Structures are given as C-alpha cells and as structure tokens.
Amino acid sequence: MASLLPGVGHLIVGRRRAGMTLLLATIVLVVGLGAVLLTLDASATERLAVKTDVLLAIAGGLVLAGLLWCATIVSAYRAARPPRMSGSQAAVTRGLVGLTCLAVMTPLTYGASTVYAARDVLSDKFRSDLLQTATDAAGVPVTPSPTPTPVPFADRDRVSVLLLGGDGEDDRKGVRTDALILATVDTRTGRTSLISLPRNLQNIPMRPGTPLAKAYPNGYPEFWFGLYTVAADNPALMPHVRPENAGAAAITDTAAYLTGIDIDYYVLTDMAGFRKIVNALGGVTMNVRSGDGLPIPIGGSHAGDGTVTARPHGAIPLGRQKLDGYHALWYVRSRFASGDEERQARQRCLLTAIARQADPGSLLTSIREFTSAAKQVLLTNIPADVLPDFAELVREHRRTAQIDRVTILDVVGSSVHPNVEAIRARAAAAVAGSLTPEATSDHGVPRPICPNL
C-alpha cells in the first residue's frame, strides 16, 4: 500500500504518527503543486519550461521524490515485518520490496532524464551567438556588424528570422545552404512575409566596414551559399560571433545587407532534421499542386547537360493530404521535373501551412517532442528565453494573420549581378505591406502552386 500512497502502509500496521505525517506531507505537496500549476497560464508555463535552472530543479525533484518514496516503502516493510521469518521468506519479501521500489523509481527517473535532456538541448542549441568582446587577428577590438543583440521582442514592432535549409552530404565539404527564406513578422498584427532568396546569386555586396567587405570588396564572386563554408573555415571573418556560428552568421548578415531588413535570428537545419521536425509537429496538411499538373517526383537527377542520371523512385500525389516529414521534405526539395522557381514556391507554401497549423506552445510544454525536434536544429542564435515569445506570437495570430509569400525572381535581374536596389525595394514593400500582385505570384511557374491558406 505504501507504493500507492506514502504513509498508508504505516497506518495499516499501527504506526499512526509516522503514517499521518507522511500522508499529510504527501497531500500538502500534491495539492500545493496542483495549485501552483492552476495559477499558470500557457505563456507562464512556456517561460518556465525553457528556463534551464527550473528544468534542473524539476529533474532533481523527480529523483528526490523517487528516493523518498522508496524510503517510505522500505520503512513500511520494516514496520510490518514479522519478528521471525525463514530465510526464503525474507528473501522473497525483500525481493518484492525491491521490485516495488523499482516500479516507483523507474517512471520518475525516466521523467528526470527526459527533463534533463531537454535542459541540455536548451543549453547547447538555444543561445545568443554574440561574443562579449570582438577582436581581430591582432587582438585589436573591432566593431561588430550591426545585427541587433537578440532580446525578447514583446515590445518590438517587428522580428525577422532567416530560415536556412542545409544540404551537407558526405561527398561535400561543409554545409550548403540550399534553401534561404527570410520570415519577417509584424509582432502587433502577425502579418508575415516569407521572402525567398535565390541560392545562386553571385557578386552580392558585403556590409561596408566589416571583415567580409575587406575580404570581398567587389562582392562575393561565387554562389553566395558558399559564404557559409568560407566563414566557417575562417571565423575571423565574423569576429563578433562564436566560431561555430560564423558560417550562419555570415549568410545572415549578408542577407540583411542585401534586403535592407535587420535580421534578428537564424535557424539552420539539415534534411534529416527537417523530416524529424515536421514529424514532431504531427505532420502538415497540404493541398499539393505542381506547375505541370503532375505528381511531384521523389528522387531523380539530371547531369549538367540535362541527361537523366537517375529516375525518380516515387511521387507525391496531387490533392489534399497530410504530409509526414519524409514527404514534406521531398515536397520542398524535388526539382526533377521543375526548376528553382517552383521549388521556392513550394517552400513558401509549406511554411505557410506549418505556420497555420503548428502549435509551438504545445511543443514547448511537451518535453519529449520538443527535445526530439530541437535536436534537429543544427545551429541557431535564438536564446531559449525568446522561444515563448515566438510561441505567444504564433498562438495569437496563426489562424488570422496575413501571410505574404514573396518572390524576388521577377526583379533580381541577372543572378551574376543582382539588382540590389530592386531587391531592397521589394523587401521594403513587404515590410510596409504594399506588395503588388507580381510580388506574391509564383513567378516562373506555369500553374499556381499554393492556394490561399
């Protein structure tokens, strides 16, 4: 009985004082915790859920509760134990006591390990990338790029996040940022612009006065996703951030200068991580369309001259359906029968659907799902204490906010020498909410990809 409720076993064997003390202490503790939880709204719960010291206390409390509970079981056994038992009887009863303690401790220690794992993820993944003091190779202090210091944005009018899809394959050095979408959100209304940034732009200018600008005074000459590997291999190019964040920070700062939008945060995940994040969110319901009106191929590849080198090994059918992580990845990645224009349109469409359907608040307070999803984030500079702000923003506006899916393909001009002023004008129109129909069209796609969501 002591395994069900501490103190009951003592009462049964006549140890009324000890039994009542344990029972009342348990009732007070349970009622007190319940009262505290009832006073917390969703926002307060989320803010507690991302505090590493709170999670550490919870993990320690679960272990301590298990040890104390086991101690009461042993105490009740000793109080009820007959004065004389044979060796076999003693062995059996001790074995039963041990099994009872194990049954009590197992779920509590599992819960503690799960909470502690979440704490580790928060500590390792979600933190600012800024260093306290930035110096150049000679140790001389330098002025960091004007990226805002990450702070909670409850009192800010706008927050912007660069979403980076990494494609780091075994035969490729470093990470290639294959997908780049800038999400900029009006925090008062929730109106969001998803701006696709083509991955194949060249000669993009660097922000003046930075080490990147000194290294590339005429702009980065290669496809700009290569900046990730360059900065990752040479962290001195981004001296104000942690070395491990230099690649993502370089891409983000360049995107900010290219668009004229201050970008507060970035999130980088790879293909495997994307699949698991979508699965952790429970999948995403889409009305799948394609530019050619045919199912979207899974797999397949072409050589540089257009020759087919591998045939698709599957396809995503058209129509309304729930995509799991695997099919969501191929929805945004497939280009066997289409070009980058359609792929960018599909990426914006999927992000719109996720924004409408996902409940990040539930993810934050469901520790196992959060830990599973957060482990897939390769790199971010979002501090843990900002996560509830995002959850609150999505909860308040996800069903009603306008989401503009913005292209710059019609104004970029040459990918070798992009029209920077036109790109900035399009980005400014997105921020101002004054976009033209061309700006939100699926440019270069024969048929509309994304219905109204």
Burial 333-363 (b: 16+ CB within 10 A, else e): bbbbbbebbbbbbbbbbbbbbbbbbbebbbb
Q: Rounded to an integer, what distance in angstroms lies between the CA atom of residue 331 and that of residue 417?
A: 30
129 touches 243 (CB < 8 A): no
Residues in the chain, total = 453
Query: Residue 186 carries which DSSP code?
Result: E
Q: Which of 351, 343, 181, 177 is nearest to 278 (CA)?
A: 351
Angle between helices 42-49 and 387-397 (to 10 degrees): 150
Per-residue pLDDT of the chain (453 residues; tens, 9 = 90+): 555 677 777 777 777 777 788 778 888 887 887 887 777 766 677 777 778 888 888 899 889 888 888 888 888 777 767 666 677 777 877 788 888 888 888 888 888 988 888 888 888 888 888 875 555 555 555 544 444 444 446 678 899 999 998 775 544 455 677 789 999 999 988 899 999 999 899 999 999 999 999 999 999 999 998 999 999 999 999 999 999 999 999 999 999 999 999 999 999 988 888 888 888 888 999 999 999 999 999 999 888 788 888 999 999 999 999 999 999 999 998 989 888 889 999 999 999 998 888 776 555 556 666 676 667 677 889 888 888 888 888 878 888 889 999 999 999 999 999 999 999 999 999 999 999 998 998 888 888 888 655
Instruction: State the Rg of the chain over Cα.
Output: 28
Q: Rounded to an integer, what distance in angstroms lies between the CA atom of residue 392 and that of residue 223?
A: 37
Bridge partner list, 287: 320
Question: What is 158-440's CATH topology?
Answer: Aminopeptidase (3.40.630)
DSSP letters for 262-329: ---EEEEEEHHHHHHHHHHTT-EEEEE--TTSSPEEES-EE-TTS-EEE--SEEEPSEEEEE-HHHHH
